Structure 1
């Protein structure tokens, strides 16, 4: 429910209007910020800002200001012959003073191997997602907050994953094509296309922006072996941050080098990035780890020993049973996860004992978060 906040008092200083609210909170609104965010600044159809803040001087300020009879903050500007009208609720909702004074709360629910005893909590039925927005919201919340979900009882026909993924948005195409076929093939161009064990890893770490989410749709899994593993990289990073700060700082501050080793490609893809990257709020943003595709490191010689020891420690924790979970995918399961948070792997399997066939899809993280916000806003607006 929308709250109605009332402006009690306004004071002008050299750069800001200082607002006292009816609930005792205080706001500072910079003059350039106010002019830039005048309601008339945006095109009514495209909603893009059409006003060019670069065309006003740095000295722009309110010549007159007051709450008018309609309850809006009315400002007559010192230049441009313009008057702006601001809704008080909009000002309060977008108040950067109050927002920056709030304690940041992470959206991520970190987990360790205790999740092994409650795998049902990350499972969701295919039909629930397909038949209702509530089911889709639940799936998206698992993906965003927990970083992992297993969709149960999906169809097992080739390419049938598109239908449920299109409930979210469009998939991300790569040179592996969509879907990519996770099967044992002769002369593979990626270790995923073998029967070998795969250490816990991020897919495509040598991209500037690796895919945000991955969906592995199990069509057949009758071979001996080939069990899946997953680890919450954010949880492991958090452990290091709290207990082994020097290692954590090394993983955050020193860039590693990753390279695409695919012999079929006519492009050389290489990228430098830290193993752990953080957001502006110092929350976890990416975990970039792949033993298979880390290139020969070329960091400063005085750092090399420290970097390798930190990488060694981090990698072993990412495979430690106190953090990782293990499970077996069955036909109709879709293992869906945040590729830039969760690391995934599998045990070796015997291709002569049966068939194992997964189809893989990628989607950018923006699509997951953006769709979730839209659906939740739609639900809230209808209440």
Structure 2
């Protein structure tokens, strides 16, 4: 959409006002200068800043500003001139929302979960990008055609990874064992939870690969934590606010490991949008806060728990051999129904891949494919 009206400068030149897409936006001259998209300010290859932003004059001003096609032509009081594409300004001034843009929130009536083919994603960049886009958008992907050997998912991890190693090793078994070191390795049902909130950093993505699933029960449950947080904010704003402020601790200990971290059950980014959920009844250790604050926290936690365990938000899946779930551990709450081994064997394998490598792979693939289309 074409901007309406000319850009206006404040009397001191330190603010620029522009009507863009039927909304009025204000930009600081100093911000425009340190973000100037030219080769003198930003490295053309990496996008890293070449000027020392902290050394720019605090009273830096705009000497001139005018529309020049699809860009703003700017000249600053330090003599620097640049063209700032309007598309970049639009990207920076997106309206605030409960969650970051590009996500599709869902509930228990999700009819068709996002799906991908293991073989196609391993062999083709288009299919791999589609998988990663769905993972980013929905918070999980159901992958089919995974080889049913113990390292069957490794081929796809190698395309995205690396594999995150923990005190449990790399890819670990998820099956009932004697003297289980974690409740995952028992037959009991598991409440909705996020994995390993006691680690720093918390693993970004969970890869859960089914080798055999003939036991009675053992269905996986999935809940969109972003949607649960959004509903809590709408239905009980005080509870939402409490869960963004109070940071309980989380702890895991065994004979060789002692892990501790902390964080709110609902974490916001710098723009007030939900960026992470934590929930781990088994490992949470809230401090002995003042009684009134604890009462508020316990009531807020109960309200969140009732949402994440509700039929309204819960999707049920039973994995078949050769299927795999990739789940966003910052967003998805997952659990399972109890199972009985009398019906057969249940054997899954689980690994972690970090968030940064996954996001990087998606963005690099998108850029490469866009460049290929431009050349073609």
Structure 1 residues 159 and 243 mapped into 2: Cα distance closer, same or farther (>3 Å)?
Answer: same
Say yes or no: does 1:271 pair with 2:261.
yes
Structure 1 residues 94 and 195 mapped into 2: Cα distance closer, same or farther (>3 Å)?
Answer: same
- Partner residue in 1 for 2:141: 149
| C-alpha distance after superposition, 1:52-109 (max 9, x if no partner) | 23334323446788899xx99474754xxxx5342343xx23337x843645573222
- Partner residue in 2 for 1:333: 323
- Partner residue in 2 for 1:16: 14
**What are the ranges of 5 or more consecutive residues in structure 1 without an aligned counterpart?**
none
Say yes or no: does 1:100 pair with 2:93.
yes
From 134, 152, 159, the counterpart of 1:160: 152
TM-score, normalised to structure 2, is: 0.84
1:8 deviates by 6.2
Please give the alpha-carbon distance, in whole angstroms, between the structure 2 residues aligned to 1:151 and 1:41.
Answer: 43
CA contact (8 A) 1:39 1:84 kept: no
SS of the equivalent of 1:325 reads strand
1:152 deviates by 0.9
- Partner residue in 2 for 1:181: 173
- Partner residue in 2 for 1:202: 194
| C-alpha distance after superposition, 1:325-383 (max 9, x if no partner) | 21211111111111121111112223454322211121222333333233233333424
From 276, 284, 287, the counterpart of 1:286: 276
From 293, 298, 314, the counterpart of 1:324: 314
TM-score, normalised to structure 1, is: 0.83
- Partner residue in 2 for 1:48: 48
| C-alpha distance after superposition, 1:1-50 (max 9, x if no partner) | xx999996675742436476899987655443344335313445655323
Please give the alpha-carbon distance, in whole angstroms, between the structure 1 residues aligned to 2:286 and 2:23.
Answer: 54
The RMSD of aligned alpha carbons is 3.2
Structure 1 residues 201 and 53 mapped into 2: Cα distance closer, same or farther (>3 Å)?
Answer: closer
From 340, 343, 351, the counterpart of 1:361: 351
Please give the alpha-carbon distance, in whole angstroms, between the structure 2 residues aligned to 1:23 and 1:259.
Answer: 49
CA contact (8 A) 2:206 2:351 kept: yes
| C-alpha distance after superposition, 1:127-176 (max 9, x if no partner) | 23223222212211221111121101111112121211222232322222
Please give the alpha-carbon distance, in whole angstroms, between the structure 2 residues aligned to 1:265 and 1:341.
Answer: 29
SS of the equivalent of 2:80 reads strand
CA contact (8 A) 1:16 1:28 kept: no
Which 10-residue stretch deviates more, 54-63 or 16-25?
16-25
CA contact (8 A) 1:65 1:73 kept: yes
SS of the equivalent of 2:163 reads coil
From 239, 258, 269, the counterpart of 2:231: 239
- Partner residue in 2 for 1:306: 296
From 120, 139, 143, the counterpart of 1:128: 120
Please give the alpha-carbon distance, in whole angstroms, between the structure 2 residues aligned to 1:305 and 1:23.
Answer: 46
Structure 1 residues 14 and 271 mapped into 2: Cα distance closer, same or farther (>3 Å)?
Answer: same
Structure of higher CA gyration radius: 1
CA contact (8 A) 1:233 1:318 kept: yes
- Partner residue in 2 for 1:86: 82
Please give the alpha-carbon distance, in whole angstroms, between the structure 1 residues aligned to 2:335 and 2:25.
Answer: 49
CA contact (8 A) 2:232 2:303 kept: no
SS of the equivalent of 2:169 reads coil
- Partner residue in 2 for 1:192: 184
Structure 1 residues 5 and 372 mapped into 2: Cα distance closer, same or farther (>3 Å)?
Answer: farther
CA contact (8 A) 2:33 2:76 kept: no
Please give the alpha-carbon distance, in whole angstroms, between the structure 2 residues aligned to 1:54 and 1:166.
Answer: 40
CA contact (8 A) 1:39 1:85 kept: no
